[in-house]
């Protein structure tokens, strides 16, 4: 099966997600041709804007920890081009390690990307944390255009689902793999998994947990598609909830409640 994994140009989470998915798929004994498509967020919003957005969200102290994590993984990405390292930090180096093809894309709606998916006969496209709306052209270009969302849809649809579940003191959260349609988080559900959400966790550790559980869910869905045994069900979007990107006031309230985006312990809790 020909698979495209579409992830942002990131060193902190995307390489971990891709590595875990590829490892699980390899463990099934079924051959898949995987293309790692790296989406560039700076083609849609300036780097300075992205930094300001994160600073306002995290606050000064936790933003500093975030920056240290980014620097460490950036260094790891450079090192991995020279020698293998345990923690994947470079998507390009990871593509070589996994014998996967590597492509860069500025927009998933551009004609060149749609043509690439058709040229490679991609059967399953999996989008992870790509903050660009998929339009009809790309959605119709592949048989299965799937999104990975870190909540149990229809609950916590929208942006930063893990943040909002943590903010609202939920005891459990989950991951949903669903078809992408033009209405956000409304497509048919192909797989879901649920896991505990400890109140003392940082958002960073919740992301790491969602990578572990989400990767398993993705691999199970892909295997079901390959075996022609996948089941789909439509979510009831008249219930549940939809959330936007947190405001400065909401992020302050999150920290006021004792919640943390990052902690200094997270500097050595980077693997899954």
pLDDT in tens, 133-184: 999 999 999 999 999 999 999 999 999 999 999 999 999 999 999 999 988 8
Q: Is 222 helix (H, G, I), strand (E, B) or coil?
A: helix
pTM of this structure: 0.94
Instruction: Kindly report the average pLDDT of the chain as a whole number.
Output: 93
Domain boundaries, the chain: 2-259
pLDDT digits over 203-223, tens only? 999 999 999 999 999 999 999
Q: What is the pLDDT of residues 91-142, one digit of tens each?
A: 999 999 999 999 999 999 999 999 999 999 999 999 999 999 999 999 999 9
Tell how many helices (H) and how many strands (E) occur in the chain.
9, 9
Handedness of CA 139, 140, 145, 151 (dihedral sign): positive
- Please name the CATH architecture into which domain 2-259 falls: 3-Layer(aba) Sandwich (3.40)
């Amino acid at each position: 099966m020909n698979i495209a994994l579409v992830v942002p140009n990131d060193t902190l989470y995307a390489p971990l997600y891709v590595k875990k998915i590829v490892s699980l798929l390899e463990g099934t004994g079924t051959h898949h041709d995987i293309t790692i498509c790296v989406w560039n967020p700076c083609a849609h919003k300036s780097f300075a804007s992205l930094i300001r957005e994160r600073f306002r969200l995290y606050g000064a102290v936790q933003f500093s920890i975030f920056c240290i994590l980014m620097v460490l993984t950036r260094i790891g990405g450079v090192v991995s081009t020279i020698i293998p390292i345990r923690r994947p930090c470079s998507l390009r180096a990871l593509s070589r390690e996994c014998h996967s093809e590597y492509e860069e894309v500025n927009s998933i709606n551009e004609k060149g990307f749609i043509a690439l998916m058709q040229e490679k006969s991609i059967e399953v496209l999996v989008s992870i944390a790509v903050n660009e709306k998929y339009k009809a052209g790309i959605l119709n270009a592949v048989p299965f255009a799937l999104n990975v969302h870190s909540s149990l849809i229809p609950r916590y649809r929208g942006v930063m689902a893990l943040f909002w579940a943590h903010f609202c003191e939920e005891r459990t959260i989950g991951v949903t793999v669903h078809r992408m349609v033009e209405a956000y988080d409304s497509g048919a559900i192909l797989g879901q998994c649920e896991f505990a959400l400890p109140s003392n966790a940082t958002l960073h550790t919740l992301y790491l947990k969602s990578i572990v559980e989400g990767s398993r869910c993705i691999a199970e869905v892909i295997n079901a598609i390959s075996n022609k045994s996948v089941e789909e069900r439509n979510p009831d979007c008249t219930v549940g909830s939809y959330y936007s990107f947190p405001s400065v006031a909401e992020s302050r309230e999150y920290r006021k409640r004792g919640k943390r985006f990052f902690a200094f312990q997270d500097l050595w809790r980077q693997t899954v």
